[in-house]
Amino acid sequence: MKGLMIQGTASNVGKSFIVTAICRWLSNQGYRVAPFKSQNMSNNSYVTEWGTEIGRAQGVQAEACRTPALPEMNPILLKPRSDQRAEVICLGESVKTFSGRDYREGFYEKGLQAIKHSLDILNASFDYIIIEGAGSPVEVNLNDRELVNMSVADLADVPVLLAADIDRGGVFASIIGTLELLPPHHRKRVQGIIINKFRGDPALFEDGRVWIEAYTGLPVLGVLPHIEHHMEAEDSLSLRPAAISSVSGAVDLAVIVFPYVSNFTDVDPFYKEKDVSIRYVYKPEEFGSPDAVILPGTRSTIEDLQDLRHKGLAEAVTSFIHKGGTAAGICGGYQMLTQQLTDEKDCWEGLGVLPMSAVFHRNKQTKRVQGEVHPSSGFTRASVEGYEIHLGEVTREAGKLSPLFILEGCEEGAVLEGGRVIGTHLHHVFHNDSFRSDWLNKLRRTKSLPLNFENPEQRDPYDQVADHLENEVDTAALMHVLNGKGLPL
């Protein structure tokens, strides 16, 4: 098949970023292109149009390709539930929760067949497949049954480009070490190197580039400068840095980070707001005196609620809310705000903010939804859209709380005291510009800040990264690799 694979010298070197850029660059030239990652470990997931679940990065990459996301683009998604166990999503559907050992011993063959099937489906429908690896291809203790790097390159029979992150330091050792540890038949698949996250004048790295090419015999196709972009992050390794606003008296937004935080990209739209500072809070001493707190989604609501209590953060959050603070709970964070959480066997005390209860079921709901802001919510009527991924249902007593939304004809979410506290299962709730502005304006009024009802138009982030790639990478050589032709240095 036509395509290539981006592998990395380590995790978080920018593989997802580079794959996304290549996908949009090819799409801009009129090609039918599909992203692919055989196995993804992340609590950030994406719901397709058919209600199936894949890794968020592959959903974003499909958007960059201008094509609907398919479960075959990420046939295996692992969602950690503890340090040693993860839920396995195969071709968009939940299979079961495995330990690491059980997964390697009991799921390997099924996973391999799902990968082969997916590659065949994509190869029949697209001109190019751009494949993303995971971590490093030289995890020698795992390579006998790996499903993510060179084994996939072999299945697809595609060339490999090696990505390295110069920002973290040690770029020469990471490149040479990776290549040296590859067996000869896999070393031959590597056709070039891309260096990512360079800061400063690229001309100052020219000697380094010459040395790498001379030592490895491989071309450095590009040195990508570090850029700020607005694409969503893939996993908790990629939590965006705190954003400190230069606006005097800016809104101070505290985001609670759970051990199993999921779909934290729900807070990404606040980075576009010039008068909002964003802080990530891991422990009570970091809580401070925010203007609002957000409790995001979590893959393990009960475990993260217990962790919140163990650290003392639960007391900080509830004290803040009871003293009049503004809060928003999304999915698992919404469930934590209730009085009680139960499943078939056990019952747990919630944070007690909302007079509601949450009940967990075995079957997960995954769906895209559309609707509008509820007329009694205290927020401006506007359309909203997003997606739901949750096991629990939240029930409220009639008359005690207003619903937040009407989604697909049903009331959803909860509003306390005119919007001071809100809860919803709707992921991407703050990606709805009108609702986000309305929520923020309640805070702006208390701080005498100007009301911003509209954000300035921002450039399509996919075109931004595609142009970045085209400006900094030898795209003629890249196309040569895509078409299966070797690259002599």
Residue 270 lies in a domain: yes
223 and 204 within one domain: yes
Specify the pairing of strand 128-132 against strand 340-342: unpaired
158 and 80 within one domain: yes
Region 180-190: mean pLDDT is 96
Region 357-374: mean pLDDT is 88
Catalytically annotated residues: 331, 427
Residue 370 lies in a domain: yes
354 and 246 within one domain: yes
pLDDT score of 238: 55
246 and 224 within one domain: no
Residue 489 lies in a domain: no
**For the chain, percent of residues with pLDDT exceeding 70:** 94
305 and 222 within one domain: no
194 and 281 within one domain: no
CATH of the domain at 186: 3.40.50.300
Residue 457 lies in a domain: no
Q: State pLDDT tens for residues 118-149.
A: 999 999 999 999 999 999 999 988 888 889 99
Residue 456 lies in a domain: no
403 and 305 within one domain: yes
pLDDT score of 236: 46
Residue 108 lies in a domain: yes
Single out the residue of 327, 337, 267, 265 nearest to residue 293, CA to CA: 327
| CA-CA-CA-CA torsion sign (115, 118, 123, 128) | negative
- Inform me whether the pLDDT recorded for 455 exceeds 60: no
Q: What is the DSSP string of 109-145?
A: HHHHHHHHHHHHHHHHH-SEEEEE--S-TT-TTTGGG
Residues of the domain holding 88? 3-230+462-483
Residue 458 pLDDT class (50, 70, 90 cuts): low
Among the residues of 400-460, which ranges form H helices? 433-446
- Inform me whether the pLDDT recorded for 20 exceeds 60: yes
Residue 346 lies in a domain: yes
301 and 210 within one domain: no
- Inform me whether the pLDDT recorded for 478 exceeds 70: yes
224 and 324 within one domain: no
Residue 455 lies in a domain: no
CATH of the domain at 273: 3.40.50.880
Phi, psi of 303 (to 5 degrees): -60, -40
Q: What is the DSSP string of 167-205?
A: TTS-HHHHHHHHHHHS-HHHHTTEEEEEEEEE-S-GGGG
pLDDT score of 232: 60
The number of C-alpha atoms within 13 Å of 148 and in the hemisphere containing its C-beta is 21
246 and 110 within one domain: no
Region 180-202: mean pLDDT is 93
* Eight-state DSSP code of residue 441: H
What is the H or E stretch that residue 443 is in? Answer: helix 433-446
pTM above 0.85, yes or no: no
102 and 29 within one domain: yes
Contact present, 128 and 3 (Cβ < 8 Å):
yes
Contact present, 243 and 276 (Cβ < 8 Å):
yes
Q: Name the least confident of 92-106, 261-275, 445-459.
A: 445-459
Specify the 3-state DSSP secondary structure of 4: strand
pLDDT score of 397: 67
240 and 209 within one domain: no
Number of domains in the chain: 2
Q: State pLDDT tens for residues 216-271.
A: 999 999 999 887 765 665 554 456 778 888 888 899 999 999 998 888 889 999 99
Q: Return mean pLDDT, the chain.
A: 90
Q: Name the least confident of 124-138, 231-245, 290-304, 341-355.
A: 231-245
Distance CA 358, CA 445 (A): 33
